[in-house]
Structure 1
Amino acid sequence: MRALRLLAVGLSAAVLAAAPAFAQSRTQTAFDLVRLDASARTAALGGPAAFVGDDPSALFANPAFLSSEADRRAALSYSNLLLDVNAGTATYARDVSWLGGMSLAGGVRYLSYGDFERRTGAETEGETLGTFGASEAAVTVAASREVLPDLRVGLALHGLFASLDDAGAEALAGDLGVSLAVPEQGVVLGASVHHVGAMLSSFGTEADRLPLDVRVVASKRLRYVPLTLSVAGIDLNRFEGARSDSSLVTRTLDHLALGGELQLGPSFAVRAGYNGRRGDDLRSGGRLDLAGVNIGAGITLRRVAVDYAFSNWGAFGGLHQFGVRTKL
């Protein structure tokens, strides 16, 4: 019961930290990178998923999901979004015994928008003066620790960087999370607040905002079927600000990420999920518009796990994401 009370306190603190943003609409930010799925596994599940295991990139869903099972494990992810736009993530975790069994991790993320032509005038008549690029990057350090049996707290710090030609933006941000596992019930619960920090510099005279995100996640492994179901509430700090003219049910669905992972034997799993926020952003209104729907699979070969995800972006096409996890 004490663990449950601490979880409730952690969730309350996360919500209160985001209180000033409750009435805001979805934040426009220079750092869209942090909104992308950091791994193919979470992408296939529709977004943040409550899995405490051997994947070090789970820290991006909630830093308290970084566990001792991820010790000496590395994870790589790559995705080609559209045309020359591509993104990737690299993460590595270690347990540090002299710090009381604390789990530490470091990660690097990047998002490249490719190269653009620089012209002196109209596109069809102006003189070409070479090219310029645009990109984003994030450097992360994270730590988590078990404070009570099956109860963990975690903290992640991010250095965020964005560039467009010779202009740039920089920020420092942090994530704070708490998680509770109930192994005998196959349940994992988590609550976290993400991207709390300050802008160090912005592209224009008006300071950019960080995409504050309050999340609550839960997963349940079924007893008689090798299926784990996950549900996440995302962007809860902007619940009233998003599509305020729609019904309560519609607004609720826009803030849910639903997923399931079916384990077909010890080495193969299939996954599917739906991200309501992404579906709302990308939906064009077509009859068969499946924006926000995700599918994927994972296979483990000895020490290496390979993951794949396909995310439907509606009229924009689809995103293929690949991931590799291994123990070093």
Structure 2
Amino acid sequence: MKHRVIRFLPSLVLTGLLSSFAADGFDFLRITYGGRAAALGGAYSAADGDVQSLAFNPATLSGSENHRLVFSYIDYLADIQSGFLGYQLRLAGHGILAVTAAYLNYGTLPRTGVQGEDLGTFTPGDLAIGVSYADSLKCRIRWGTTVKYIRSAIDAYSADALALDAGAVYHIPVHMLNIGLSVQNLGRTLRPFIDVKETLPLAFRAGFSKHLAHLPLVISGDVIRYARQESDLIGGMYFATGGEFTVSDFVLLRFGYHSRGAGQKMGTEAERMAGLSFGFGLRLRRILIDYAFGSHGALGDTNHFTVSMTL
């Protein structure tokens, strides 16, 4: 069985799942789920957030006032399907509590023996379940933390981990500016796939979000540093930037870029868009619909759909 799993892993990389498997384990934690965040290139560590922002900085949740239910679906690379479900509520005293679940389904894949014989099929997948809490100190300082259980499964093998995210946001109302800092995926593997415990994709983020004074535009930027450098595509340091333009009370247009796209360009015209993203938001009373398109060059494109409802 070990030989079959080992033979299978390189095929994932060759088919474009570079963002899901690497020397680090549980690399699906790098994925951007929310439609708004994806359209902004992932520059979201200082956003006026909701439950979508937990994957970037749990402190941003403190800037949200309402009970909210969020569902996201991603048509990801190489026909991978992914989703996110979250619920947040303001507690009677202080702070906001949120519960989230994210999954990745790689589809049905062939199981092959050492000699290449057909041994049927299997469906690998990933799951992360988190509980978050966020609050503010003297109005300007917001803080938050997330504890999450993580599980990955490949055929008969599985791995489990526990991780912590933590962050802070400094809010400057007079300048309509947020400055955010966060650490992600600080934790350890509880049970490895085979013998060696996989390391989590530990990351550090710093960013800003600013409402322009004389234009209905919010600009944002992040610098992200991963503790491990896996390749030009995975790990290391990169930046992300984005903007959200309010067309009306009902329509928002968004655009973004992340510098990881530089490693995903292979020279063709279409692949020159690698790293670029764009999308829109539609406000329909208590419902917000977000869509984002992201180009990953040689790896393909992603489509992100999010529906959030204020309760």
With structure 1 as the length reference, what TM-score do the two structures score? Answer: 0.82
CA contact (8 A) 2:25 2:201 kept: no
Q: How much has 1:234 moved relative to structure 2? A: 0.5
Q: How much has 1:144 moved relative to structure 2? A: 0.8
Which residue, out of 170, 174, 179, partners 1:189?
179
Aligned amino acid, residue 104 of structure 1:
L
Which residue is equivalent to 1:144? Answer: 134
Matched, 1:108 2:86: no
CA contact (8 A) 2:278 2:294 kept: yes
The 3-state SS of whatever aligns with 1:235 is: strand
Give ranges in structure 1 of 5+ residues lacking alignment. 1-25, 245-250
Q: 1:81 to 1:27 in 2, by over 3 A?
A: closer
Matched, 1:220 2:210: yes
Matched, 1:305 2:288: yes
1: CA distance between counterparts of 2:185 and 2:295? Answer: 26
- Which residues in structure 2 correspond to 1:28-39 (within 5 Å)? 28-39=23-34
Q: How much has 1:96 moved relative to structure 2? A: 1.1
The 3-state SS of whatever aligns with 1:47 is: coil
Q: How much has 1:58 moved relative to structure 2? A: 1.2
1: CA distance between counterparts of 2:26 and 2:142? Answer: 28
Which residue is equivalent to 1:96? Answer: 91
The 3-state SS of whatever aligns with 1:114 is: coil
After the TM superposition, which parts of structure 1 deviate over 6 Å for at least 4 consecutive aligned residues? none
Percent identity for Structure 1 against Structure 2: 32
The 3-state SS of whatever aligns with 2:107 is: strand
Q: How much has 1:243 moved relative to structure 2? A: 7.8
2: CA distance between counterparts of 1:262 and 1:164? Answer: 42
Which residue is equivalent to 1:52? Answer: 48
Which residue is equivalent to 1:255? Answer: 238
Which residue is equivalent to 1:284? Answer: 266
2: CA distance between counterparts of 1:222 and 1:185? Answer: 9
Give ranges in structure 2 of 5+ residues lacking alignment. 1-20
Aligned amino acid, residue 305 of structure 2:
F
Which residue, out of 182, 190, 200, partners 1:200?
190
The 3-state SS of whatever aligns with 2:302 is: strand
2: CA distance between counterparts of 1:75 and 1:89? Answer: 8
Matched, 1:130 2:123: no
CA contact (8 A) 2:69 2:88 kept: yes
Deviations 1:88-143 (A, max 9, x none): 10111011123xx11110000001111112244665xx3x4321111000000000
1: CA distance between counterparts of 2:281 and 2:201? Answer: 30
CA contact (8 A) 2:34 2:72 kept: yes
1: CA distance between counterparts of 2:133 and 2:238? Answer: 27
CA contact (8 A) 1:27 1:211 kept: no
2: CA distance between counterparts of 1:70 and 1:201? Answer: 38
Higher mean C-alpha displacement, 132-141 vs 197-206? 197-206
Aligned amino acid, residue 99 of structure 2:
G
1: CA distance between counterparts of 2:63 and 2:252? Answer: 22
Which residue is equivalent to 1:327? Answer: 310
Which residue is equivalent to 1:43? Answer: 38
Which residue is equivalent to 1:274? Answer: 257
Which residue is equivalent to 1:177? Answer: 167
CA contact (8 A) 1:68 1:95 kept: no
Q: How much has 1:220 moved relative to structure 2? A: 1.1
CA RMSD in angstroms comes to 2.2
Q: How much has 1:316 moved relative to structure 2? A: 2.5
Aligned amino acid, residue 166 of structure 2:
L
The 3-state SS of whatever aligns with 2:128 is: strand
With structure 2 as the length reference, what TM-score do the two structures score? Answer: 0.86
Aligned amino acid, residue 298 of structure 2:
A
CA contact (8 A) 2:33 2:74 kept: no
Aligned amino acid, residue 125 of structure 2:
S
CA contact (8 A) 2:62 2:144 kept: no
Matched, 1:157 2:147: yes
